[in-house]
Amino acid sequence: MKGYLDRIDDNKYAVILVEETKKQFVLPKEELPEGSAEKSYFDLTIENDRITSITLDEETTFFEQKKVDNLMEKLRSKSKGSKFKKK
C-alpha cells in the first residue's frame, strides 16, 4: 500500500495520507525511514489500523515530484501576469 508524507506537525509528528483507505496516520517523526521529507512516498504495511512497516519509495517520490514540476512549469508559461496594476 502507498502512503504520502503530507506534513510534519510541530517538528515531531509525521502525517501520512493513504489514499487507498482514505485514512491518515500520525506517527513520531523518528519512525520515518532515513531520507524522508515532506512529499515523500512510502510502501506501507498496515495491520489493525496501524502502520507495521514503512519503507521510502524513492522512485515514486521522484516521478510524482517530476509531474508536479512539469505542471507548474506549464502554468507559469501560460500566465499573463496579474490583472491588477501596481501603484
pTM value?
0.80
Asked whether residue 82 carries a pLDDT value surpassing 70, the answer given is no
Q: What is the pLDDT of residues 47-77, one digit of tens each?
A: 999 999 999 999 999 999 999 999 999 888 8
Task: Return the HEC string of 11-80.
Answer: CCEEEEEECCCCEEEEEEHHHCCCCCCCCCEEEEEEECCEEEEEEECHHHHHHHHHHHHHHHHHHHHHCC
What's residue 78's pLDDT? 80
**Mean pLDDT (the chain, rounded):** 92
Question: What value does the mean pLDDT take over residues 33-45?
Answer: 95
